Structures are given as structure tokens and as C-alpha cells.
Chains A and B, each alone.
Chain A
Amino acid sequence: MKVLIASLCREALSEREFVDPVVRIVQKEGHEAERAHFTSPSVPGADADAVILSGTALADFDYLAHLAQFDWISEFDRPLLGICAGMQVIALQHGGALRECTEIGMVRITASETALIKEGERVFTLHRKAAVVPEGFLSLARSDQCVHVIRHEKKPQLGVLFHPEVRSPSVIHAFLDIVPGA
């Protein structure tokens, strides 16, 4: 299947850090990975089986200045995973809000059984904002600071605040497993 990885990075140099590792994980699982910047008309694309929204550098909030580019999310029915900035955008598009919350480095997660991640697992975090869970979403995992995994109650849309590409690639594998035809 084909997975579109949308970069939310302002700087192309950041994509080597926040997009390329995700692309490699998707490819290693035997899937086709296509990449595009979030401002490109090819996002979300007509033919991708699933879409992943990347994270960004800690100092990068450029995506928040272009929220209209993400208006497609609320009606999107294919599997969608938002990582860090990507989770924030998903939450905002569904009427959620952001609040200040900084975590940097490895953090322990408290998770429910359906959270794509194990209870007590340590994950790599890099964020200054966290999402307030929007209506219609379930909160599935959290640190002692903020919510780390959200899932839409009906649509296959997931958000993770930590960076699964760093120390938890199984989260991306689990997401790919929910894609029909995977």
C-alpha cells in the first residue's frame, strides 16, 4: 500500500530529522512511501491508503500559521496519524485546543490497552504545546504532564504527541496495521 508522509516542517533541513526516519520505517515495513510538504496540493492526495503528518523542530510553529491548509482533516476518512505537531493539527481541526506544555527527552507513558503503546513504556518527547482532547476523541495514553495518544471515536484518525520514529517504531507499525488491505 501507499503511505503519504506530509512534512509539517518550515525548514527543509528539519525534514531529515522529522520526516526521513518515518519514511524509512514505512518502507522497511514493505510499503510505498510518498512525501510532500503540507502546503502541497498533493496533500492529502487521492490515492494514498494512509497519511502521516510529521513532527517539527521544537522552535517551529509555522504550521500553526497555516491551519487552513489542514481543513481536509475533519472530513478525511482514510487512516491518518499525526505525530507531535501533526497531533496538534488534528486536534485543532476537530475543535480542540492547544496549551503550553514542554517535554524534552525520554518520558514514561501511562496507557490504556488500545493505545498502540504499552503501559509504562518510555518514549522520546520534543514539544512545547499539547492538545486538549477534542470532542469525539478518546484519550488513550498520557505522561504526568499531558495527553500523548488520542483516537477519533469513529474515524481512523490518531494523534501521538511523542515521536514514535525515535524509540517506538512499533507505534507506526500498529498504525499501518489498521490500514485496510495492509
Chain B
Amino acid sequence: MLFSGGKDSCYALHLAQRMGHEIACLLTVESENPESYMFHTPNIGRTRMQAQAMDIPLLTRMTEGEKEVELEDLRALIAQAKGELGIGGVVTGVIESVYQATRVQQICADLGLWVFNPLWKTDQPAYLHALVREGFEVLIVGVFAEPLERDWLGRKIDAAAIKELELLSQEYGIQPSGEGGEFETFVLSAPGWKTRLEIEESATVYEKNAGVLRIDQLRVVER
């Protein structure tokens, strides 16, 4: 499972498990470049605690985040998972990005692995409602598009938030699920997790229509 810690990879993972696939490990490429083309960057170091909450092994690899170098890092990480754990395929949470989908397909074709993109082309508002209905606790932890102001940081995705995102989608053309990089999310709890997470300490960093909620300390709590 290519894992960023955000809602899309968590929901895609959930779908894969629900359809009987065993998730052998989570794969996270940790980018040092805040404008990474391929990978979600806010709070990616926190995926370790999510992996523990899910009780699934996590393999990580640092990348400098140069556009093509990070692809080589992703390739190396997937190859490692194949070599060490014998994975037969890779699941991603990609929805619309032909760029991301193409690169992952190419790498997995070279390595002889299947690819599953269970959220591909999904109806985004319907998907957001499914997340809420099925008990995913999702926070917005990064905003990178003009209509999403500082007050969106730390906001939970619930029915009211989805309604506002749909309105902003109509007015400004953003994608309601943030697939165009308009915002990034972090999942605190989801179906199947052994424990849930709570934020103990965080800080808001915001300037020039972009910002992140930096999660400094997480706490594990009973579900």
C-alpha cells in the first residue's frame, strides 16, 4: 500500500482489505522537498504512528524530492517490499492524477507487480460522504489553494465541511477531495484500526494562501 497518511490511501487500503486482500506493508516515501510532485508532504513522519495504530509494518525511504529522483526512490522502496515481503501488487489512493498513476504503473510493470487504484475516477463528493459515514476521522492538515484559508487547517471532514468544499468546487474549480493538491489530510482513526490517534501538540504555519498544521505530538488512545 503506497501510504501518505491521508484519507485517500487510508480509504483505498480499507477497500482492498474489505475485498479480501492482505496488506503486507505500508510504503511511505518521505520527501524533503515541500513541493514534491509525487508525495504528500505535511506530517508524513507521522505515518509511523498510523502504521502502529493499524498494526501493519511500515517501510520508509527518504527522498530529496527532485522530480525524477523521487521516482527512483519509490521504485527502490517497492522493489524492497517485493524482495523482503513477497508482495504481489501495489495499492494506491490516486483519484485523478494521470501523472501519478502512470509512474506507479510503469514501476510496477517493470517489477512484475499488479496495481490497484480503487479510488480511480471516483465520484468525489460521494466518496467524501462514504468516509464520514464509515467512521474515518480525517483532518485537513495542509491548504494550498486560494479559497481554502487558514481556518480550514485542523478542520475535521464532516457533512458541513463536504458541503462547503462542494460549493468551493463550483465557485473556484477546486476538486472537492483535494486531488489537485488543494489540500492535504491526515487520518486519526479508521475502521479496522486497533487504536486511534489524538493530536496533543500542533502548530499552524500559514503564509501567502498556503499553510500546514504541523503535528508535533500524537497520542495513542483506545478506540
A interface vs B, CB < 8 Å? 11-14, 16-17, 20-21, 24, 57-60, 102, 104-106, 124, 126, 128, 165-167
Complex Cα distance A124/B117, Å? 15
Q: B113 and A59: CB pair below 8 A?
A: yes
What residues of B have a CB within 8 angstroms of the CB of A166 in the complex? 98, 121
- Does chain A have a CB within 8 A of B56? no
Q: B116 and A17: CB pair below 8 A?
A: yes
6 closest A-B pairs by CB: A105-B102, A21-B121, A17-B120, A16-B118, A59-B114, A13-B19
- Does chain A have a CB within 8 A of B115? yes
What residues of B have a CB within 8 angstroms of the CB of A126 in the complex? 105
What residues of B have a CB within 8 angstroms of the CB of A106 in the complex? 98, 102
B161 to A: closest C-beta gap in Å: 24
Q: What would 6 more interface pairs be, CB under 8 Å, given A17-B116, A59-B112, A166-B98?
A: A13-B19, A13-B21, A16-B15, A16-B119, A17-B121, A59-B113
Tier of interface size on chain B? 20 to 34
Residue of chain B at shortest CB distance from A18: B120
With A17-B118, A57-B115, A57-B116 as given contacts, are A104 and B15 in contact (CB-CB < 8 Å)? no
Choose one: A17, A20, A104, A165; the contact of B109 (CB below 8 Å).
A104
What residues of B have a CB within 8 angstroms of the CB of A57 in the complex? 114-116
- The B interface, classified by DSSP as helix, strand, loop or mixed, is mixed
Q: B116 and A128: CB pair below 8 A?
A: no
Choose one: B98, B105, B114; the contact of A167 (CB below 8 Å).
B98
Choose one: B21, B112, B121; the contact of A165 (CB below 8 Å).
B121
Q: B98 and A17: CB pair below 8 A?
A: no
A52 to B: closest C-beta gap in Å: 15
Residue of chain B at shortest CB distance from A106: B98
Q: B116 and A13: CB pair below 8 A?
A: yes
Complex Cα distance A90/B163, Å? 44
B interface vs A, CB < 8 Å? 15-16, 19, 21, 89, 91, 98, 102, 105-106, 108-109, 112-123
What residues of A have a CB within 8 angstroms of the CB of B89 in the complex? 59
What residues of B have a CB within 8 angstroms of the CB of A59 in the complex? 89, 108-109, 112-115
A24 to B: closest C-beta gap in Å: 6
Residue of chain B at shortest CB distance from A165: B121
What residues of B have a CB within 8 angstroms of the CB of A128 in the complex? 109
Q: A13 and B118: CB pair below 8 A?
A: yes
Complex Cα distance A172/B141, Å? 38
A125 to B: closest C-beta gap in Å: 9
What residues of A have a CB within 8 angstroms of the CB of B19 in the complex? 11-13
A127 to B: closest C-beta gap in Å: 10
Complex Cα distance A113/B98, Å? 27
Complex Cα distance A42/B21, Å? 27
**10 residue pairs from A and B, CB less than 8 Å apart:** A12-B19, A13-B91, A16-B117, A17-B121, A20-B122, A57-B116, A58-B115, A105-B105, A106-B102, A167-B98
With A13-B16, A59-B89 as given contacts, are A24 and B116 in contact (CB-CB < 8 Å)? no
With A12-B19, A59-B89, A126-B105 as given contacts, are A105 and B118 in contact (CB-CB < 8 Å)? no
With A59-B89, A165-B121 as given contacts, are A105 and B116 in contact (CB-CB < 8 Å)? no
Complex Cα distance A17/B102, Å? 14
B16 to A: closest C-beta gap in Å: 6
Complex Cα distance A106/B119, Å? 19
